[in-house]
A = this chain, B = another copy of it.
Amino acid sequence: MTKELPAQDRRIHFEPDNVDIVVAQGDNLLQAAIDAGVHINASCGGAGVCGTCKVLIRKGEVESIRTEKVSDKAWEQGIRQACQSRVLTDLTIYIPVESRLERAVQSRESKEVAEALATGWRFYPPLSKYFVELPPPTLADNASDLSRVLRGLKQRYNLSNMTVDFDVVKTLPQILRDSDWKVTVTTLVTAVKPRSADKRRPRVINIEPGDMRQQHYSLALDVGTTTVCGQLLDLNRGKAIAQSIDYNGQISYGEDVISRIAYCQKPGGLQRLQRAVVATINKIIGELMTQSGVDVGHIGHVSVAGNTTMVQILLGLDPKYVRLAPYTPAANFIPPMKANSLGIEVGGHVYLFTFPLVASYVGGDIISGIVGSGVYQRKKLTLYLDIGTNGEVVIGNSDWMVVASCSAGPAFEGGGVKHGMVATTGAIQEFDIDPSSLEPVVGTIGGAKPRGICGSGLISIIAGLLEAGVIGAKGKFNTDLPTKRVRQGRDGYEYVLSWAPETEIGKDIVITEVDIDNLIRAKAALYAGCQTLIKSVGLTLADLEQVIIAGAFGSHIDMEKSITIGLFPDIPQDRFVFIGNGSLLGARLASFSTDLMNDARTVAGMMTNFELSENLDFMNNYVAALFLPHTDASEFPTVSKRLGRVRDNKSTPRIVV
């Protein structure tokens, strides 16, 4: 198989990646690994001082400078710092877990625990770039242009059995000659398979002139019913370098999934909704390019997580039967397809990956979140709660998972809320209230002048108003208070959070009784969903060892206040983990690791769907939860106790129900 190499060439085999590269004798080992697309931590940039790039020399010889970062014992075992080593012979190199980029990714974004939840994955993106310098053809060697490129990939990187996209061939002859036979080949793993079946047989999707390995980006998208969130990922650095969120342009055609499906049944309706969400995606891409300064042509892949209806509409698949009993989606696994065939403004070579889905109301967004948060990897009994227009509830662990979906409405994403907005600059996300003066303290995202209220802000505000007795357990205002902030507005009573001059929008920002009512119904649906689902598997909320909260709330959600309003169960706060947008997290991590992309299939296969929509128990639980925190005080013992104490401390009882 392996041909004899010229005198100066040395072949390096990297494990456990199972990747080869041919370099010149004397080349730096860290650089060789980078060229081969094998990721090794090297936080000091190759100066030898951080000691993170340690590798094990299994076969062959290197010439290595020893620093104090390598212990005697490690040196004897054959551990070397890759950055301090030069290649002497053919090598077999093993990269220990602690030198893999996975940990680097985590530590770099250490403020977020999110990326630490899914474990055991290699940094091995489905999208890869390889640089090859080819010998120009001669009469003695006039193989075809494509054969020459494939031969180069085989010789330098030991890649073989590749499939090739036809479009690559179209421009190849000119690109090779214009670039002096030095090109960068982009490959993609499109098939989602069990990890064990992954044979690393990617598809050649693009060939560019010159060395373009530094321009190596991919796009992760969470396409939600109310909001669309995107991240631009730098695959060389293993991190998101830009992020943008916006309302899904379909909102003007209906607030929830059901109304969107209904709209699709009108003539041209599906096409209109498809164009609307694509326009939103294109706007987000534009914003990401502006933020990062990256050229859109350097995006090589798009990963999308979304609920079944959003994905079907994005792909132009009529969601009609998603809504009609017995609720069947068009496909659980969407075959790979070109992003620009949908109107998404990226290069013609870019494929769109969509997370597999479980059922009509349990979509790829939830699979993505479960993959991203590693619920399927642990024995710990976990509740995973994704708060969006549809709330999704998963209960389970590495052995089993049940999932249910309940319609919460868009309140948590700022929909159906007078001054609601997405979690972006100027959104009120923190709130406190002086129990005596009833004057508010308002904190916004980015510390900007207030523009509106995001989901996490809404929770804080309602919890604060409740604790201060400004509203009662039914969410109605106490109208008998010594403050101008509670007043009669157009939609009934409201509380003024910021006076017009203090705001960005030049208008009073208020929260109304209608807003509060919408939020109560949303949290009731979510809480009832959790209650019903956990009872269906014979457990109670107290059995939960971990609660993972996901949602497009931005970077922050107040757990205590969420429990106060009865959104989350009243169990110890140290069991809660907030991961932000879980759907986007999974889309990002799957872009970093083919392992996790493949795990999406496993997770989809593990999930059992539990239908809430016609469940009587759910309806009873829902009605009982239409209260702050709950009609049954015993469900929220610590909250009831605290609220009681608050009330006892007040001179004037201001309780309204």
Residues of A within 8 A of B (CB): 137-139, 141-148, 163-166, 168-170, 172-174, 177, 191, 315-318, 320-321, 325-337, 357, 359-360, 611
**Minimum C-beta distance from A220 to chain B (A):** 20
Complex Cα spacing A138 to B327, Å:
9
B325–A145 CB distance below 8 A = no
Residue in B145, B317, B328 whose beta carbon sits within 8 Å of that of A328 in the complex: B145
Complex Cα spacing A213 to B333, Å:
27
Q: Which residues of B contact A163 (CB under 8 A)?
A: 191, 335
Complex Cα spacing A142 to B361, Å:
12
With A174-B318, A321-B173 in contact, is A166–B336 under 8 Å at CB? yes
A164-B331, A174-B318 provided; 7 other pairs, C-beta below 8 A?
A138-B326, A142-B326, A143-B328, A144-B357, A165-B335, A169-B335, A170-B317
**Minimum C-beta distance from A608 to chain B (A):** 12
A166–B332 CB distance below 8 A = no
Complex Cα spacing A147 to B328, Å:
10
Q: Give the 7 A-B CB pairs with smallest separation, nearest first.
A: A146-B331, A166-B337, A142-B326, A166-B335, A144-B332, A144-B329, A139-B326
Complex Cα spacing A177 to B336, Å:
25
Could you give 12 example pairs across A and B, Cβ below 8 Å?
Answer: A137-B326, A138-B326, A139-B325, A139-B327, A142-B359, A144-B329, A146-B331, A147-B332, A163-B191, A166-B315, A170-B317, A173-B321
Q: Which residues of B contact A191 (CB under 8 A)?
A: 163
Residue in B141, B173, B329 whose beta carbon sits within 8 Å of that of A317 in the complex: B173
A177–B147 CB distance below 8 A = no
Q: Which residues of B contact A317 (CB under 8 A)?
A: 169-170, 173
Among residues of B, the one whose C-beta sits closest to the C-beta of A332 is B144
Chain B CB within 10 Å, residue with most, of A318, A329, A330:
A330
Among residues of B, the one whose C-beta sits closest to the C-beta of A166 is B337
Complex Cα spacing A168 to B177, Å:
38
Complex Cα spacing A375 to B320, Å:
56
Complex Cα spacing A191 to B163, Å:
9
Among residues of B, the one whose C-beta sits closest to the C-beta of A325 is B139
**Minimum C-beta distance from A194 to chain B (A):** 12
A145–B331 CB distance below 8 A = yes
With A326-B137, A328-B137 in contact, is A173–B142 under 8 Å at CB? no
Complex Cα spacing A325 to B141, Å:
11
A330–B144 CB distance below 8 A = yes
B137–A169 CB distance below 8 A = no
B147–A331 CB distance below 8 A = yes
Complex Cα spacing A330 to B145, Å:
5
Q: Which residues of B contact A611 (CB under 8 A)?
A: 139
Q: Which residues of B contact A331 (CB under 8 A)?
A: 144-147, 164, 169, 172
Q: Which residues of B contact A334 (CB under 8 A)?
A: 166, 169
A170–B139 CB distance below 8 A = no
A142–B336 CB distance below 8 A = no
Complex Cα spacing A559 to B328, Å:
66
**Minimum C-beta distance from A332 to chain B (A):** 4
**Minimum C-beta distance from A309 to chain B (A):** 13
Complex Cα spacing A326 to B333, Å:
46
Complex Cα spacing A332 to B169, Å:
10
**Minimum C-beta distance from A378 to chain B (A):** 28
Complex Cα spacing A165 to B337, Å:
8
Q: Which residues of B contact A328 (CB under 8 A)?
A: 137, 142-145, 148, 173
**Minimum C-beta distance from A304 to chain B (A):** 13
Q: Which residues of B contact A327 (CB under 8 A)?
A: 139, 142
Complex Cα spacing A318 to B139, Å:
20
Residue in B148, B177, B321, B332 whose beta carbon sits within 8 Å of that of A146 in the complex: B332
**Minimum C-beta distance from A211 to chain B (A):** 23
A329–B139 CB distance below 8 A = no
Complex Cα spacing A172 to B137, Å:
48
Q: Which residues of B contact A318 (CB under 8 A)?
A: 173-174
Among residues of B, the one whose C-beta sits closest to the C-beta of A341 is B166
Q: Which residues of B contact A329 (CB under 8 A)?
A: 144-145
Q: Which residues of B contact A330 (CB under 8 A)?
A: 144-146, 169, 172-173
**Minimum C-beta distance from A165 to chain B (A):** 6
**Minimum C-beta distance from A240 to chain B (A):** 28
Among residues of B, the one whose C-beta sits closest to the C-beta of A147 is B332
Q: Which residues of B contact A316 (CB under 8 A)?
A: 170
Complex Cα spacing A315 to B168, Å:
12
**Minimum C-beta distance from A533 to chain B (A):** 18
Complex Cα spacing A357 to B146, Å:
12
B337–A142 CB distance below 8 A = no
Complex Cα spacing A335 to B173, Å:
15
Q: Which residues of B contact A360 (CB under 8 A)?
A: 142
A332–B143 CB distance below 8 A = yes
Q: Which residues of B contact A173 (CB under 8 A)?
A: 317-318, 320-321, 328, 330
Among residues of B, the one whose C-beta sits closest to the C-beta of A191 is B163
Among residues of B, the one whose C-beta sits closest to the C-beta of A337 is B166
Complex Cα spacing A326 to B172, Å:
16
Among residues of B, the one whose C-beta sits closest to the C-beta of A190 is B163
Complex Cα spacing A611 to B337, Å:
42
Complex Cα spacing A168 to B165, Å:
19
B335–A164 CB distance below 8 A = yes
Among residues of B, the one whose C-beta sits closest to the C-beta of A360 is B142
Q: Which residues of B contact A168 (CB under 8 A)?
A: 335
Q: Which residues of B contact A138 (CB under 8 A)?
A: 326
Complex Cα spacing A173 to B139, Å:
55
Among residues of B, the one whose C-beta sits closest to the C-beta of A308 is B144
Complex Cα spacing A316 to B172, Å:
12
Complex Cα spacing A166 to B190, Å:
13
**Minimum C-beta distance from A606 to chain B (A):** 15
Q: Which residues of B contact A337 (CB under 8 A)?
A: 166
